[in-house]
Structure 1
Amino acid sequence: MENKDKIRVCVIGAGPSGMSVLYQFAKLRKIPNIVCYEKQSTWGGIWNYTWRTGLDDNNEPCHSSLYKDLWTNAPKEANLEFPDYTFEKHFGKPVPSYPPAAAVRDYLQGRWTNACSTDLKQFIQFNTIVRFVKFENDNFVVTIDDRKKNMTKQEVFSHVVICSGVFNYPNQPEVPDIIKFEGRVMHSHNFRNANEFKGQTVLVIGSHYSGEDIALHCLKYGAKHIYISWRTQPTGLKWPKGIEERPGVTRFDAKNAYFKDGSRTAIDAVIFCTGFRNHFPYLDTNLRIGEDTSLYPDGLYKATLFLNGGNNKLFYIGAQDQLYSFNYFDCIASWVCKYILGELADEPKSGEKMKRDVTKWTSRVSTIASLKDVADFQTDLLAEICSSSGYDKSILKAVSLFVDWIRHREEDISDFRRHQFRSMYTGSLAPTQKPYMTIFDDSLETFLKC
């Protein structure tokens, strides 16, 4: 076991992943010297709504992609609820399965305060931007910009945990002649209010979750018509009137989009829903994972420990595509904290064994062909991490909830949120709520009246 007094941990980001690291260390009651740097003025990461796009109030790239009136697109019982702090415990009663963003943030903050006997904010340095991280002399040298004190300095750490997320650097492919288009062009990262597109014909490029949700959101708030352009294959979903799919965009002119099937259509706006990049510009190049997003980034043992630099003392949490999310981050964080403190009975393994383990998972990714495969993959991965770290295996029951969720989406993509799920931890069935397409108030107060 490494001497606790020699351990100094840097956590970058106080969103759900970074807060799970602090929470899990506090739960072990063996908190090392730890500092969490957060560029925003509060915790919560992408769950902090802002009207700003482009640059934030510190003239830094705006972190959050959260838009007004966002509701979760997967049931909270499957990917948001923590085993040790349920939604029912937080709100004092069962609440619907698909909460708005305000309720999610309130729940997170409740866990970080009510469920933890340690004041986690004491470890967080807000309004602090990490400028550069390098590894030398078996330690990490972290350059930070403290905006409150208006000073830049370097700090030395034994370990670094990257928790800054992957939803802040948009992936924006080039489309021929888009410069000729005279309408609005934006990426979903800068999407804030669907009312902007009322009465307009909108082209959504990208048919994954954000594309689906923004298309429905625009229709809900009065868009005239939405076209969803897919790259590899159509979604196969049953869209409501007002939304239709087209194959990939080939080019633009001033008013029209042209598609691979030879069709064209006049449009008013283009929204790129083409995902994000695993971009960590503050890391020395030899400490970075690849920029392409994946269910299992290559070089990460247990989906977290970076093997290609940093002498097994650099970790990533939340840097992969997910179905599980909060409970996924939390499970991995529990493993990371115990690994750092030397409290895992079967770790560390030899470098060769760890690389073989990585290959096992990355090879399996190539065989995934459906959402059910994704759910099974992440469930099996979490089962392995739970077995090593001792994290509550109840979270693995979520796989059956995901199966139901997949079916509900296929049955009616515009109304799948009406379904009720039962908490895996309390046994309580979520109450019903109004149809999503008729809800125009995303406030916490209105949600709790359900």
Structure 2
Amino acid sequence: MSRQRIAIIGAGPSGIAALRAFESAQRAGAKIPEIVTYEKQDDWGGQWNYDWRSGTDRYGEPVHSSMYRNLWSNGPKEALEFAEYTFDQHFGRPISSYPPREVLWDYIDGRVRRSKVKNKVQFSTAVRWVDYDRDQDTFTVTVENLRSGKTTSSEFDRVIVASGHFSFPNVPDFEGIETFPGSVRHAHDFRGAEALDGKRVLLIGASYSAEDIGVQAHKMGAASVTMSYRTSPMGYDWPDGIEELPLLDRFEGQTVHFSNGETREFDAVILCTGYLHKYPFLPAELALQSPNNIYPAGLYRGVVWQKNPRLYYLGAQDQWFTFNMFDAQAWYVRDLILGRAALPAAEQRAAHMRTWRNRFQELDGDADDVRFQGDYIRDLIEATDYPMFDIDEVVQIFLDWKEDKVKNILTYRDKNHRSVMTGTMATTHHTPWLEELDDSLERYLSTPAAAAAPTDSDQATETVVISEEISVNGVDGHARVNVR
């Protein structure tokens, strides 16, 4: 029997999880398929691979990442930690619970930095189309090398879609918005809050993107921040200068009319209106079409495309858990492909999906949502050899995080949590988040107090402490623990 060929589309955290899953099996002595991963960016990391560009990239392709320069994790790192590669293992010391983007990218990259899985990735390569041949039971994947412009096609036995679903912005229309003289952009194109200094800012939306960009704008000196909600306000104890108003009714130049009759004038508008499940490289019979939710219809155990169980999706859910959920999904998909796990018949898969979808339909609020996703991850891990971790404790970390935000939306990032993987308590970052304007890896891992009072020439420069095991480098809605 010939060796299977597997295509992975995307080398963000989900695609890397798939590569790592197969690598783990291979290290244990298993024979794995031939794997080819296509990544349209020049490096891996997906959303966490920051690009200053917006709109189109250097090749004229739509920019994938929604990451902005001064983003810090807006959920505890202890909730996303890999079970088989901890923050302690990577950094060699405790770090704070809410690191900035570059630190998280270094962690993602570090897990696979010294492996050979990067050899399985074709970078700067965009997938143009995927065809499925029913007679041959194979996929033909057509790609373009963006550097050379060359287009090629290859056959694969199975396809893993790991391209994420937070890259195609949902851009609604508003009456009169064409008359607004200031800047208008979607959160996908937002690259930093420094330019909002002194500006009156309107954020349309009431979820994690609006929340985080709003407090970033406040931190960077915006004159005022107004968030317009459609259904209900976030309801935090906002500081002076931040407010929530109901959905806007119309624009008249700089003046915005809201549905409660109030008006405000603005200099900048940011649409925090979510993202579309969009897979332009897939025909309709293979493409997931779903609102952003934690249990999309059509995916058995959240990963297997019911209409064609040789096609898989990773990270297609709305996300509370992130990196460790992608791992749980990747390990399960790997075991299906390797024949370690049996795939039930279509009728049994449908019944399983109905059971989970019925439970999903009954969820009422964030606490229910996070517990549901925790149970979903537990169900996947129990079917594989991925290390089980205390999922209930991670759920509690999420609930504590929510409470911390209610207490103070500007200081919750200064709180510490304990790792469920190692028991290590996070340290307090040397500078409160509201005062920290440098989000670089070097600054984050430094000890600036030592530089402030040098005792000899050796202490005259800021010290950077990094584990000897790592090197310093230079990520599927909105943002929770990752950018969304």
Q: Same fold (TM over 0.5)?
A: yes
After superposition, the C-alpha distances for 1:177-233 in whole angstroms (9 at most, x for unaligned) are 211211111000000011111101000001101110000001100100000011111
Q: Distance in 2 between matches of 1:89 and 1:60?
A: 36
Partner of 2:16: 19
Cα drift, residue 435 of structure 1: 2.3
Partner of 1:261: 260
Q: Distance in 2 between matches of 1:58 and 1:415?
A: 40
2:109 paired with 1:130: no
2:35 paired with 1:34: yes
After superposition, the C-alpha distances for 1:10-50 in whole angstroms (9 at most, x for unaligned) are 00001100011010001001321110001011111111111
Alignment of 1:375-386 (within 5 A): 375-386=370-381
Q: Distance in 1 between matches of 2:149 and 2:62?
A: 18
Cα drift, residue 446 of structure 1: 1.4
Q: Distance in 2 between matches of 1:387 and 1:85?
A: 19
Q: Distance in 1 between matches of 2:423 and 2:399?
A: 18
Q: Helix, strand or coil: the match of 1:166?
A: coil
For the 8 Å contact 1:199–1:223, the answer to whether it is kept is yes
2:75 paired with 1:74: yes
Q: Distance in 2 between matches of 1:360 and 1:208?
A: 28
For the 8 Å contact 2:32–2:338, the answer to whether it is kept is no
For the 8 Å contact 1:83–1:395, the answer to whether it is kept is no
Partner of 2:424: 428
For the 8 Å contact 1:277–1:292, the answer to whether it is kept is yes
Task: Give the counterpart letter for 2:330 in structure 1.
Answer: A
Q: Distance in 2 between matches of 1:204 and 1:405?
A: 23
Q: Distance in 1 between matches of 2:251 and 2:355?
A: 43
Task: Give the counterpart letter for 2:46 in structure 1.
Answer: G
For the 8 Å contact 2:77–2:97, the answer to whether it is kept is yes
Root-mean-square deviation (CA), in Å?
1.2
Query: Larger deviation: 369-378 or 328-337?
Result: 369-378
For the 8 Å contact 1:251–1:259, the answer to whether it is kept is yes
Task: Give the counterpart letter for 2:106 in structure 1.
Answer: D
Q: Distance in 2 between matches of 1:98 and 1:273?
A: 22
Cα drift, residue 291 of structure 1: 4.2
For the 8 Å contact 1:65–1:168, the answer to whether it is kept is yes
Cα drift, residue 171 of structure 1: 0.7
After superposition, the C-alpha distances for 1:348-367 in whole angstroms (9 at most, x for unaligned) are 11111111111222222222
Q: 2:438 aligns with which of 430, 437, 441?
A: 441
Task: Give the counterpart letter for 1:416 in structure 2.
Answer: Y
Q: Distance in 1 between matches of 2:163 and 2:390?
A: 24
Q: Distance in 2 between matches of 1:259 and 1:368?
A: 31
Q: 1:319 aligns with which of 316, 320, 331?
A: 316
Alignment of 1:198-213 (within 5 A): 198-213=197-212
Query: What is the number of equivalent residue pairs in this alignment?
Result: 439
Cα drift, residue 395 of structure 1: 5.0
Q: Helix, strand or coil: the match of 2:376?
A: helix
Q: 2:343 aligns with which of 333, 339, 348?
A: 348
For the 8 Å contact 2:227–2:243, the answer to whether it is kept is yes
TM-score (norm 2): 0.89
Partner of 2:306: 307
After superposition, the C-alpha distances for 1:47-79 in whole angstroms (9 at most, x for unaligned) are 111110000011000011110111000000012
Q: Distance in 1 between matches of 2:257 and 2:158?
A: 50
Identity %: 40
Partner of 1:400: 396
Q: Helix, strand or coil: the match of 1:49?
A: coil
For the 8 Å contact 1:279–1:291, the answer to whether it is kept is no
For the 8 Å contact 2:83–2:388, the answer to whether it is kept is no
Q: Distance in 1 between matches of 2:362 and 2:202?
A: 31
Task: Give the counterpart letter for 1:20 in structure 2.
Answer: A
Q: Distance in 2 between matches of 1:417 and 1:329?
A: 24
2:171 paired with 1:175: no
Alignment of 1:7-156 (within 5 A): 7-29=4-26, 30-79=31-80, 81-114=81-114, 118-136=115-133, 137=135, 138-156=137-155
Task: Give the counterpart letter for 1:33 in structure 2.
Answer: E
Q: Helix, strand or coil: the match of 1:394?
A: coil
TM-score (norm 1): 0.95
After superposition, the C-alpha distances for 1:278-299 in whole angstroms (9 at most, x for unaligned) are 1001101110111421111100
List alignment gaps of at least 5 residues for structure 2: 448-484
After superposition, the C-alpha distances for 1:341-396 in whole angstroms (9 at most, x for unaligned) are 1101xx21111111111122222222222211111010111111111123222051
Cα drift, residue 245 of structure 1: 0.2
Q: Distance in 1 between matches of 2:388 and 2:409?
A: 30
Task: Give the counterpart letter for 1:386 in structure 2.
Answer: I
Partner of 2:476: none
Q: Distance in 1 between matches of 2:54 and 2:255?
A: 26
Task: Give the counterpart letter for 1:72 in structure 2.
Answer: S
2:338 paired with 1:336: no
Task: Give the counterpart letter for 1:60 in structure 2.
Answer: E
Moved over 6 A (4+): none
Partner of 1:409: 405
Q: Distance in 2 between matches of 1:430 and 1:110?
A: 19
Partner of 2:158: 159
Partner of 2:453: none
Q: Distance in 2 between matches of 1:53 and 1:273?
A: 15
Partner of 1:250: 249
After superposition, the C-alpha distances for 1:83-103 in whole angstroms (9 at most, x for unaligned) are 111111111100000000010
Task: Give the counterpart letter for 1:102 in structure 2.
Answer: E
Q: Distance in 1 between matches of 2:306 and 2:3?
A: 22
List alignment gaps of at least 5 residues for structure 1: none
Partner of 2:472: none
After superposition, the C-alpha distances for 1:240-294 in whole angstroms (9 at most, x for unaligned) are 1110000011111101111111111111111001111110011011101114211
Q: Helix, strand or coil: the match of 2:90?
A: helix
Q: Distance in 1 between matches of 2:172 and 2:379?
A: 36
Q: Distance in 2 between matches of 1:244 and 1:369?
A: 26
Q: Distance in 1 between matches of 2:278 and 2:128?
A: 13
After superposition, the C-alpha distances for 1:293-342 in whole angstroms (9 at most, x for unaligned) are 1111100011010012x3x1000101111010000101100000001111
Q: Helix, strand or coil: the match of 1:445?
A: helix
Partner of 2:235: 236
